[in-house]
Amino acid sequence: MARNFQFELVSPENLLFSEAVEQVLLPGCRGYLTVMVGHSPMITRIIPGVVNVRFAGTERRAFIVFEGFVDIRPEICSLLAKAVVPIEQFDPHDIDFRIAKAHGELKAAKTDYNRNKAEELFYQLTAVRGADRLA
């Protein structure tokens, strides 16, 4: 029998989700992370992408997240995201708007640092564009 751990999904406005889950797949800054009960403690940056949550049995939920941090401990995982959208509420026009904004920031960047940050965000957002098919 699988063991569960507590998963919390928090935005700047409120606690969006807090339940016992079996597994969470997160878009970490160095690739996707699978978190399960007993995971080694770590804190890492989250990039725009899909968070897939699996409960005991076959129930699953998915969210689109836009940047943040995750604090992983053996019995709890807390994801603090800049913005969160449940996959069923995902609007492709919203991601297109964010991509256009990031593209504008990329074109307007005056320093290498700003150009690199804008380029990174632009490519991360374009990867999220097909997220409604990934969940």
Output the CA angle 62-65-71, nearest 5 degrees: 95
Whether pLDDT at 126 is above 90 = no
What are the structure tokens assigned to 7, written together?
A: 């998963």
Helices (H), the chain: 92-108, 112-128
For the entire predicted model, the pTM comes to 0.76
Determine the pLDDT at residue 83: 85
Asked if CATH classification 3.90.1300.10 holds for the domain at 5-87, the reply, yes or no, is: no
- Identify the helix (H) or strand (E) that includes residue 107: helix 92-108
For 24-48, the pLDDT digits (tens) are 999 998 889 999 999 999 999 998 8
CA dist 82 and 55 (Å) reads 24
Q: How far apart are CA 51 and CA 24, in angstroms?
A: 7
Q: Name residue 101's amino acid.
A: K
